Amino acid sequence: MKLRNLSAHQLKRPDGLLNRTDKTAIGKKLNHKINSAFSGLDIYLQSEKNDSKFFRNLNKLANFAGLTSDKNHPLKNSEINSASDTKPAGNDFEAIAKLLQEKDSFLILAHLSIDGDDLGSMTALAEALTRMGKKVQLYSQDNVPEIFSYLPNLSLLKNKLPEQKSDVVIALECGVPSRTGENVDLTKLGDKVVNIDHHLGNTCYGDLNWVNTEAPAVGEMVYDLLEKMGCEINQREATGIYTAISSDTGSFQFGNVSPKTHRIISRLLETKINSSEISRRIFREKDFNFMKLYGRSLVDLEKTEDGKLVWSALSNETLKNSGVKSSDTQNLMEDINRVAGAEVAVLFKEAEPGEVHVSLRSHGFPVNEIAAEFGGGGHKMASGCRIDSPLPEAVSRLNARIKAKLKDYQAAPQK
Ligand SMILES: [Mn+2]
């Protein structure tokens, strides 16, 4: 992405932090008026919604997204500069559909800690491309969670990179190339790099980029792509896309679900997929050990006197003895966020002694700002960070920051 200079008014931020126009540049304009602007080493995302402007420090977001381990300079210049500036960024939907129809061999990559959205999406896309007579391989560095074992085309998924170069590599919801895994060089794996994502902060590193931050799941984008290619959705594709969308929307409960989402789901159900069984597998069925650990996290639940902050902390010993794989502890968080009257819910997991993984949830309080203070980030109401200190210290440090911020929040509720 070659950068162009911004005019002063474009950069003006209410608190004046982004006013150094001489050193600041802006990346290509994305679909939804999201710009990445550079001020020295600080990269901000500017988004506009209903005439309000929001700024996010992309370095902090990037760090959360696992873009690099260097907390001070999380985005590498090579990653920032990899896209061209001749066309609008993140808007190559039609060109991607055309490329997929023209080319013959594909490698589709998931992000680290593969989830229902990118897994369901890649299996559906693989099905469609295979039906078009093309060769498709799937790659994920991390193993597939057991709950998704019903998905079709899992035999195509490997955690070893192919030796032969494909015509096209497709990265699904990876903000930067390194999100696909360690030592993955997309340009060596395929002649063309296609980047499809629905998250803020994507650096548009592909030859073709399609970033739609209004899509609740990348699965919805894959549906659009299949439709554009004239693909009559079959039951196997529908199973993948249903898995993708229902995973990322918490079974259609989250705020990003739109009428379009339901129209797509309606179309998927027409293929007679077993949606209740898929929902049971994703959301209801739990492993025995998980249920015990889940119970433990609730028994240990704590709250501040005013009840605005609730949290639970699981020690390394508890986690180790639980027999639950760390990749399977992601959903422990959700029910902690159900306590009435709480503004913020936190789960601390001491993954290794002295290494605490923190999940934060809220119903409006910007937990991403708390996470960012600790080198993490994420969404306003769902964020995460890692604190390298003993568990009790991590709990008291983070909670102290939340309590301080909750005071401001109550004084001046945001948005
Ligand atoms: Mn997703």
Mean pLDDT of all residues in the chain? 82
pTM above 0.75, yes or no: no
Helix, coil or strand: residue 38: strand
Q: 209 CA distance to ligand 1 centroid (A)? A: 16
Q: How many whole angstroms from 169 Cα to the centroid of ligand 1?
A: 18
How far away, in angstroms, is 128 Cα from ligand 1 center?
A: 20
pLDDT band at 273 (very low <50, low <70, confident <90, very high): very high
Distance of CA 167 from the midpoint of ligand 1 (Å) = 25
**Burial class, 284, CB count within 10 angstroms (exposed 0-12 / middle 13-18 / buried 19+):** exposed
The region of weakest confidence among 61-75, 76-90, 92-106, 354-368 is: 61-75
pLDDT at 201 over 60: yes
Residue 158 CA to ligand 1 centre (angstroms) = 20
Residue 12's pLDDT band, with cuts at 50, 70 and 90, is: very low
CB atoms within 10 A of CB 259: 7
Is residue 29 within 8 Å of residue 17, measured between CB atoms?
no
Amino acid identity at 153: N
Ligand 1 center–CA 170 separation, angstroms: 15
| Fold classification of 288-411 (topology level) | Diaminopimelate Epimerase; Chain A, domain 1 (3.10.310)
* pLDDT for residue 412: 55
Token pair listed for 240: 């993948």
CA 47 to chain centre: 17
CA 117–ligand 1 middle distance (angstroms): 5
CATH topology of domain 93-283: inorganic pyrophosphatase (n-terminal core) (3.90.1640)
Q: How do the domains of the chain map onto residue ranges? A: 4-74, 93-283, 288-411
Report CA(197)–ligand 1 centroid distance (Å).
8
C-alpha of residue 23 to centroid of ligand 1, in Å:
34
Q: What is the pLDDT of residue 333?
A: 86
Task: List the single range of 65-69, 85-89, 246-250, 338-342 with lowest mean pLDDT.
Answer: 65-69
Ligand 1 centre distance from Cα of residue 120 (Å):
10
Question: For residue 53, how far is its CA from the centre of ligand 1 (angstroms)?
Answer: 24
Report every protein residue that has its C-beta within 5 angstroms of ion ligand 1. 117, 173, 218, 248
Note whether 346 and 360 are within 8 A (CB).
Answer: yes
The pLDDT score that the predictor gives to residue 413 is 54
| String of DSSP letters for 53-106 | EEEEEHHHHHHHTTS-S-SSS-S-HHHHTTS-SSS-TTB-HHHHHHHHHH--EE
